[in-house]
Structure 1
Amino acid sequence: MEIKICGMKYNVREVAALQPDYLGFIFYDKSARNFENEMPALNSNIKKVGVFVDEKISVISKKVKELKLNVIQLHGNESESYCQELKCSNPEIEIWKAFSVDEKFDFESIKVYKSIDKILLDTKGENPGGNGHKFNWKTLENIKFGKLFILSGGINSEDAQLIKNLKEKNSDLVAIDLNSGFEIKSGFKDFEKLRRFIKELKEII
């Protein structure tokens, strides 16, 4: 199970010491976690994820080059044709597409996205992400998208066993996305809470 810690803004170096697989940086000026700081030097084992919301492809491509991003995460209403164009502009970069899930969400709509590498499933809320609420994870137990997926949305320090249970039901779950459930304030992560949770998760999965 890979671990992504997203919404990084303030204590990046401290959190990087936990050696997550991914650190996520949001480039969306309407977000309280919008990253405008200088990117610190990180261990090469940690992949940098740039999170964008309905952004111009030229702007994303510039950020990829400037910050040496490893993954582009799209968290808006980007179409499959948009994703195709983005992939052509950044052929070496992994692309994730986030989908906002609620009780009315049509999971079949995901299958039109052929050019993305992975799916990220988040909870639909007022903001594109970081709302701190879960959707019904049971809907994911027996569903296949034809792609691997990342679980996001309201994950907190009590959820290790629930994540293990879902992983046993659906092997396409390959990563989890930790954000608001592990914060002291927006963009400032609770190091000890993250450390304890990651340790627990690695012990059971």
Structure 2
Amino acid sequence: MRIKVCGMKEEGNLQDLLELQPDYVGFIFYENSPRFMGETLDAEVVKSVPKDTKKVGVFVNASINQIVQTVKTYGLDFVQLHGDEMPDFCRSLQFKGINIIKAFRVDETFNFTQLNNYKPVCDYFLFDTKAAAYGGTGTAFEWSLLKRYDNEKPFFLSGGICLEDAETILELKEKTGLRMHAVDINSKFEEQPGIKNIEAVREFIQRLKVEEIEA
């Protein structure tokens, strides 16, 4: 199971996290987020992240020019679109050679058929919890809703995931056959917004690995 740790914004904390070798690390470029990176992380620091850890920039209804420039400045490997971006918007970024994770906010009213037009223009989907505002909620949606998904495109599971969820997540993947590419963790592993509890992240990764081996 791959791990994405999102919302990093402090250099020392980032370096400590990288020792755990996460598969993805996320940086938020949405100004209204408490984890907005702003000027707290130098571009060269982000560029120096080892190649085995993919760098993801998170955007909400940003312009194409802003996204393209940010990808170049920070050497991002993926952009995560967390707003109301339409398929044509994704297509324009894809045409520029940008790898795309498109986030969708899920609740019991979510219509999974709307994903069909996004499939050709995204590399992965990300399923998060629906809320009134953009960004994380710290709560999980009802994962049984994923049974409605046609499972064609691999996805990231996000939304209020905590340390105790490791076994449940692996069980969900095994029993349903869902193409769960990675688990996206954030607020439940923080000491404060943007500062991760490294030992908690370490234990989560270890639990996932142990459970996978035992399975």
What residue in structure 1 maps to residue 191 of structure 2? 184
Residue in 2 that maps onto 1:156: 162
Q: Which one of the candidate residues 51, 61, 64 is aligned to 1:57? A: 64
| Structure 2 SS opposite 1:55 | coil
User: Mean Cα displacement is larger for which, 127-136 or 20-29?
Assistant: 127-136
Provide the aligned length of Structure 1 versus Structure 2.
203
Among 83, 92, 104, the alignment partner of 1:76 is 83
Preserved CA contact (<8 Å) 1:167 1:173: yes
Change (3 A) 1:152 1:53: same
Shift of 1:182: 0.4
How far 1:72 sits from its partner (Å)? 0.8
1:203 shift after superposition: 1.2
Shift of 1:127: 3.1
Gap runs ≥5 in structure 2: none
Structure 1 window deviating more from structure 2 (122-131 vs 59-68): it is: 122-131
**What is the correspondence of 1:1-205 to structure 2 with a 5 Å cutoff?**
1-10=1-10, 11-36=13-38, 37-39=41-43, 40=45, 41-89=48-96, 91=97, 93-113=98-118, 114-141=120-147, 143-168=149-174, 169-205=176-212
Identify the range of structure 1 (134-143 vs 42-51) with the bigger mean alpha-carbon deviation. 134-143
Q: What is the CA-CA distance between 1:112 and the residue it aligns to?
A: 1.4
Q: How big is the shift at 1:48?
A: 0.3
Q: Shift of the alpha carbon at 1:170?
A: 2.6
Partners in 2 of 1:124 and 1:142 — Cα distance? 16
- In 1, Cα distance between the equivalents of 2:35 and 2:104? 19
Deviations 1:19-60 (A, max 9, x none): 000000000111110112214222121110000001000111
State the TM-score, normalizing by the size of structure 1: 0.95
Contact kept, 8 Å, 2:80 with 2:102, in 1: the verdict is yes
RMSD: 1.2
Structure showing the higher helix proportion among its residues: 2
CA distance in 2: counterparts of 1:4 and 1:106, whole angstroms: 25
Q: Which amino acid aligns with 2:18?
A: A
Deviating beyond 3 angstroms after TM superposition, the runs of 4 or more aligned structure 1 residues are none
CA distance in 2: counterparts of 1:142 and 1:78, whole angstroms: 22
Deviation for aligned residue 1:145 = 4.0
TM-score of the superposed pair, with normalisation by structure 2: 0.91
Unaligned runs of 5+ in 1: none
State the Cα distance separating 1:202 from its structure 2 match: 1.0
Q: Is the contact between residue 144 and residue 172 of structure 1 (CA under 8 Å) also seen in structure 2?
A: no
Q: Is the 8 A contact 1:140 1:170 kept in 2?
A: no
Distance in 2 between residues matched to 1:57 and 1:19, nearest whole Å: 30
- State percent identity of aligned pairs: 44
